[in-house]
């Protein structure tokens, strides 16, 4: 039997996102990326100092009659986002100084739990042509969980590796969408606020898994869907403007997913199964009554049936006894103790790795 969500995934649906989200089941999507209207409140046309016109955001979809109307609109779509988000899912919302503070307040009013605000620093921002303000060179992304108790997805180790083994920071220095990536129709930008794929790549890579459902309530030119498809995620797109729906569909249709799905497995995040020292005794890797040695052979302990060690008048675990020998509060016994095999010392940690390999080989 087809689930309700099945008729939505991997498609862009034309229409009002609030009405369309009401058709989705509660707690049915894993990740939401929302790029809503910014309500830029531009008054008239903007010109450069040489009197050439600036290609600014003047679309009808960005116009509201005032903050009250914008806040009501924001509350309504965010309320539906929270409803359809799984209990351990997260939502990302991007905006500028025009709207992001209002959006953040409403997110908190709805009970969404803010995890980070990410600053997208534009390495090639549009200049401030009038010279009356600082050059606006960034946008803000708010990343939030459904609740404070949510066990949300975050691939910390993968993002650290991505960032040359340094913690991924909350300031992302990325260029705005330009060059061949910028979609144009008749020589003009197809969408005034098209986001770069590099930005969505980080968002989706960091906070979702293969096969997850990614919802974009304001799909626009289709960046979210394109990156989701490439990374083997499912996507749902809602878009009010028919022209954008057609542009996004043509764009996503050309996207080729990563050929080998195993390349998306986050192997750096893999945690080997826990193996207590007692497992090595029970499986015959280490014998009851066998001697364990420190690497320099200055210390020797005897293995007991309950997996404890005796060393002189000391009794305890491999960790506790090694800590007492070293006069420390704690120590990792796996790194301290060795057994003798064929006249040579072998680390008990190497035996543990062999045990794990056998576990994996046996399925």
- In DSSP terms, 55 is beta-bridged to none
pLDDT for position 43: 53
Burial 329-345 (b: 16+ CB within 10 A, else e): eebebbebbbbeeeeee
Do 323 and 294 touch, CB atoms closer than 8 A?
Answer: no
CA distance 318 to 302: 10
User: How confident is the prediction along the chain (363 residues), in pLDDT tens digits per residue?
Assistant: 457 899 999 999 999 999 999 999 999 999 999 999 987 655 555 444 454 444 544 566 556 677 899 999 999 999 999 999 999 999 999 999 989 999 999 999 999 999 999 999 998 887 776 778 898 899 999 999 999 999 999 999 999 999 999 999 999 999 998 888 888 888 788 777 889 999 999 999 999 999 999 999 999 999 999 999 999 999 999 999 999 999 999 999 999 999 988 899 999 998 888 999 999 999 999 999 999 999 999 999 999 999 999 999 999 999 999 999 999 999 999 999 999 999 999 999 999 999 998 887 765
- By the 10 Å C-beta count (0-12 exposed, 13-18 middle, 19+ buried), 161 is classed as middle
pLDDT for position 185: 81
CA dihedral 213, 217, 221, 224 (to 10 degrees): -30
**Ramachandran category for residue 164: left, alpha or beta (phi over 0 → left; psi -120 to 50 → alpha):** left
- Here the tokens at position 173 are 């220095």
> How far is CA 6 from its chain centroid?
23
pLDDT for position 54: 42
Phi–psi pair at 28, nearest 5 degrees:
-120, -10
pLDDT for position 203: 98
CA-based diameter of the chain, in Å?
90
Do 117 and 123 touch, CB atoms closer than 8 A?
Answer: no
pLDDT for position 49: 47
């Amino acid at each position: 039997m087809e689930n309700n969500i099945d008729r939505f995934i991997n498609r862009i649906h034309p229409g009002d996102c609030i009405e369309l989200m009401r058709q989705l089941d509660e707690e049915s999507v894993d990740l939401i990326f929302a790029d809503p209207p910014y309500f830029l409140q531009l008054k008239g046309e903007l010109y450069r100092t040489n009197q050439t016109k600036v290609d600014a955001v003047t679309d009808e979809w960005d116009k509201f009659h005032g903050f009250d109307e914008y806040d009501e609109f924001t509350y309504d779509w965010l309320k539906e986002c929270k409803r359809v988000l799984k209990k351990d899912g997260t939502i990302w919302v991007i905006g500028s100084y025009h709207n992001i503070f209002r959006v953040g307040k409403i997110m908190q009013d709805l009970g969404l739990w803010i995890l980070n605000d990410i600053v997208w620093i534009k390495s090639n921002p549009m200049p401030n042509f009038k010279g009356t303000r600082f050059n606006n060179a960034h946008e803000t992304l708010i990343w939030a969980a459904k609740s404070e108790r949510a066990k949300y997805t975050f691939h910390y180790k993968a993002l650290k590796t991505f960032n040359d083994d340094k913690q991924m920071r909350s300031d992302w220095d990325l260029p705005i969408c330009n060059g061949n990536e910028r979609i144009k129709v008749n020589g003009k930008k197809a969408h005034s606020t098209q986001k770069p794929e590099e930005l969505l790549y980080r968002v989706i890579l960091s906070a979702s898994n293969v096969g997850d459902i990614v919802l974009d309530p304001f799909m626009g030119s289709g960046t979210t869907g394109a990156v989701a498809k490439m990374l083997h995620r499912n996507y749902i797109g809602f878009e009010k403007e028919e022209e954008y729906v057609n542009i996004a569909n043509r764009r996503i249709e050309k996207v080729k997913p990563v050929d080998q799905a195993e390349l998306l497995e986050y192997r750096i995040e893999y945690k080997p199964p826990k193996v207590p020292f007692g497992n090595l005794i029970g499986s015959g890797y280490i014998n009851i009554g066998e001697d364990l040695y420190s690497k320099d052979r200055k210390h020797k302990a005897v293995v007991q049936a309950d997996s404890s060690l005796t060393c002189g008048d000391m009794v305890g675990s491999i960790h506790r006894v090694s800590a007492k020998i070293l006069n420390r509060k704690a120590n990792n016994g796996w790194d301290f103790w060795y057994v003798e095999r064929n006249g040579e010392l072998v680390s008990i940690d190497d035996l543990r790795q062999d045990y794990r390999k056998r576990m994996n080989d046996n399925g």
